[in-house]
């Protein structure tokens, strides 16, 4: 196994000399891609990220977040994730559109429409599926939620990108989330798939909640719809019962992953594990399922989490993963948790497919106060517990 301590001892203690959100995004995107041996993709990746971040690129960091983005704990409006499966290592970006002066759920939605036009015109995005369901998720001025729309781009090794949109099923209230997803799946020809999935999940008194709904922004035949479920206060065994019927999963593997990455078999009382189910549009068969584990709540520090993740990777990918971690952050890995938010796993021929979700923690280390953000966008559950649980994400 890779000598992690020797690797981190060589980590440069840098401080990025940029003052805008766009500057941080461009700098770290370049550094991470170069660490993965993909320097030739920096220019095209920055052009795409420029489209996705156009609404907030010029915001200064020291002013603090104007919108409490739920993408990250400190409200930074983007994150990276590193997908490691087979012999490939792929970078993904997740962003949220934000109005610079009067941010709101409806303002983000309007900005997303402009982004969609640019993605379609410049990057070949297909919007047919999105247009079928968009009205179900469009926020009203009176709606209160953690977000209305996010975008992600999976940067392929050939220089293109797989684009995706994330929508909030609870945008009109958590009690309506299941009905919103059912109607969306019906319009996509997948109603039976959603009913079968919901019926298979053990009843735990409302503790398994629909969190996100996502669509591939392509009109290709392999386009997917994904549903993400948060499993509050769950145990490893309960997660295994949800995932065991899915292709490639076994109860043993799910329990072992929880034990290895979360340090126990639960119950997990902080941020909840999340399951994701992907369906091909118009195809009733489940394509893939993925388990997302909120490692930042249960690890000692990011170096400790990295040791656990490396045990799941072949040596060549351990190197890519560790290089990416060190280029994505401004601090030593052993200083804290929070850089790696979730780690997701799904069965893959020969070895698990692993994705690590990386928060830039821009505001955490810039001296900016999150209290400058609009406090109205942070709803609370009836228990008083924050409803901010991230899927890192979201892949």
pLDDT tens for 320-366 read 999 999 999 989 999 999 999 999 999 887 778 999 999 999 998 76
Cα gap 71→69, rounded to integer Å: 5
Nearest to 208 by CA among 218, 199, 216: 199
12 in a structural domain: yes
Cα gap 224→276, rounded to integer Å: 12
Cite the DSSP H helix spans in the chain.
4-9, 21-35, 42-52, 105-123, 128-137, 177-187, 191-200, 236-243, 251-262, 302-310, 315-328
How many CA atoms, within 13 angstroms, populate the side-chain half-sphere of residue 381?
13
pLDDT of residue 30: 96
CA distances 227 to 79, 208, 220, 278, 286, Å, are 20, 12, 19, 7, 11
pLDDT of residue 251: 95
382 in a structural domain: no
Q: Token pair of 33, please? A: 């891609």
As for how many domains the chain has, the answer is 1
30 is in which domain, residue-wise? 4-377
pLDDT of residue 372: 43
385 in a structural domain: no
pLDDT of residue 350: 72
179 in a structural domain: yes
Count of Cβ atoms closer than 10 Å to residue 39 Cβ: 11
pLDDT of residue 366: 60
Say how many residues make up the chain.
395
pTM for this model (two decimals): 0.90
Q: How confident is the model over 95-152, as pLDDT tens digits? A: 999 999 999 999 999 999 999 999 999 999 999 999 999 999 999 999 999 999 999 9
Cα gap 237→172, rounded to integer Å: 32
- Coil, strand or helix: which one is 341? strand
Cis status of the peptide bond prior to 71, with omega within 30 of 0 = no
Beta pairing class for 340-346 and 286-293? antiparallel
180 in a structural domain: yes
347 in a structural domain: yes
Q: Which residues of the chain have pLDDT under 70?
A: 1-17, 157-159, 282-284, 366-395
CA distances 211 to 57, 176, 248, 291, Å, are 27, 12, 24, 14
Cα gap 249→89, rounded to integer Å: 22
393 in a structural domain: no
232 in a structural domain: yes
């Amino acid at each position: 196994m890779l000598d992690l301590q020797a690797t981190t001892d060589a980590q440069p203690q840098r401080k990025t000399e940029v003052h805008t959100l766009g500057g941080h995004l461009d700098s770290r995107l370049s550094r991470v891609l170069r660490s993965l041996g993909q320097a030739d993709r920096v220019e095209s990746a920055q052009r795409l990220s420029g489209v996705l971040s156009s609404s907030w690129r010029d915001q200064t960091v020291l002013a603090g977040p104007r919108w409490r983005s739920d993408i990250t704990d400190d409200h930074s409006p983007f994150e990276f994730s590193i997908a490691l499966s087979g012999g490939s290592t792929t970078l993904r970006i997740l962003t949220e559109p934000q109005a610079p002066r009067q941010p709101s759920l409806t303002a983000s939605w309007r900005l997303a429409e402009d982004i969609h036009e640019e993605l379609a015109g410049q990057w070949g995005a297909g919007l047919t599926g999105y247009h079928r369901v968009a009205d179900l998720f469009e926020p009203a001025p009176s709606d209160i939620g953690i977000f209305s729309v996010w975008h992600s781009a999976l940067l392929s090794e050939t220089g293109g990108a797989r684009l995706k949109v994330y929508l909030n099923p609870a945008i009109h209230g958590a009690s309506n989330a299941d009905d919103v997803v059912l109607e969306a799946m019906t319009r996509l020809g997948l109603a039976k798939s959603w009913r079968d999935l919901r019926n298979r999940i053990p009843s735990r008194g409302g503790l398994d909640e629909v969190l996100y709904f996502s669509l591939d922004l392509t009109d290709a035949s392999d386009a997917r719809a994904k549903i993400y479920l948060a499993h509050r206060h769950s145990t490893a065994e309960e997660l295994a019962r949800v995932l065991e019927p899915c292709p490639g999963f076994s109860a043993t593997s799910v329990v072992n992953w929880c034990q290895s990455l979360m340090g126990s078999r639960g119950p997990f009382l902080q941020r909840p594990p999340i399951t994701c189910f992907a369906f091909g549009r118009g195809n009733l068969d489940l394509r893939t399922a993925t388990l997302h584990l909120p490692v930042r709540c249960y690890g000692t520090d990011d170096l400790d989490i990295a040791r656990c993740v490396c045990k799941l990777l072949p040596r060549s990918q351990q190197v890519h993963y560790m290089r990416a971690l060190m280029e994505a952050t401004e601090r030593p890995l052993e200083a804290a948790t929070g850089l790696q938010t979730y780690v997701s796993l799904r069965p893959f021929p020969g070895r698990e497919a692993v994705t690590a979700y990386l928060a830039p923690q821009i505001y955490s280390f810039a001296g900016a106060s999150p209290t400058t953000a609009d406090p109205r966008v942070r709803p609370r559950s009836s228990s008083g517990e924050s409803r901010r649980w991230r899927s890192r994400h979201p892949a």
